[in-house]
Amino acid sequence: MTEWLIASNNQYKTQDLINCLAFYGLKAIPYTDKMPKLTFPAEQTDSYAMNALHKAQFLADKTGKGVIADDSGIEVPALGEHLGVTTKRELHQDVEHSDNQTILNAMKSQIDRRATMISTLVAIAPGKAPVTVVGRVSGMIATQTRGSYSTGFDKLFILPNQQHTLAELPDNSRLPLTHRGQAAKQLVAELRGV
């Protein structure tokens, strides 16, 4: 398959995933390049994999094309059961602050700043069983947002033995280090020849 559709209405996530896949030699485009914007099924609260599968299957059924979907989140031990699979939904409840600022506010008095970012990708090609992979990176939450090479949690996330946030690293350095980059590497390896 020469070109995959990304099953997402989040333009930043879509572009990041396209960049990650391209880094490993797989071409993907926003599904909206081929059709009008759709409303995807509501996400569940129990599984990254099921959320990604539902998005991928929904778009694959609509288009008959090869589709890749992502469900991702951040898990922060100091915040207990919050975030994870419901990361965006929880953060969007704070309408006065950006997602990153909401996390920084919650972490103000926390000494334990450990965090893990997780990306689960599901690819569905016509006539093939879904392929699911998981990328996971652990690090620390910075005390303020930094960097302009990327968006989202990359501005907060510092890998072990690094002084910089992911967003302070250019794409050629950053992409292989991210949760989505790790997942993309695995997915491209799985899809060789599909």
SS3 labels along 135-157: EEEEEEECCCCCCCCCCHHHHCE
Dihedrals phi, psi of 45, to nearest 5 degrees: -115, 5
- Run of H or E including 67: strand 67-75
In this prediction, residues 65-77 reach a mean pLDDT of 96
Pairing label, strands 131-141, 157-158: antiparallel
Catalytic residue among 16, 70, 71, 99: 71
pLDDT tens figures, 171-188: 999 999 999 999 999 999
Q: Which residues of 112-142 are buried (b: 16+ CB within 10 A; e: fewer)?
A: ebebbbbbbbbbbbeeeebbbbbbebebbbb
71 is catalytic: yes
Instruction: Give the pLDDT confidence score for residue 193 in this predicted structure.
Output: 61
Contact assessment for residue 67 and residue 17, using Cβ atoms and an 8 Å cutoff: no
At 88, is the secondary structure helix, strand, or coil? Answer: helix
Residues spanned by the domain of 45: 4-191
pLDDT tens figures, 15-57: 999 999 999 999 999 999 999 999 999 888 789 999 999 999 9
pLDDT tens figures, 103-138: 999 999 899 999 999 999 999 999 999 999 999 999
User: What's the pLDDT band for 194 if we cut at 50, 70, 90?
Assistant: low
**CATH number (domain holding residue 120):** 3.90.950.10
Report the C-alpha gap between 56 and 171 in whole angstroms.
Answer: 26
Mean pLDDT (the chain, rounded): 93
Give the predicted TM-score (pTM) of the model.
0.93
Q: How many domains does the chain have?
A: 1
Contact assessment for residue 115 and residue 179, using Cβ atoms and an 8 Å cutoff: no
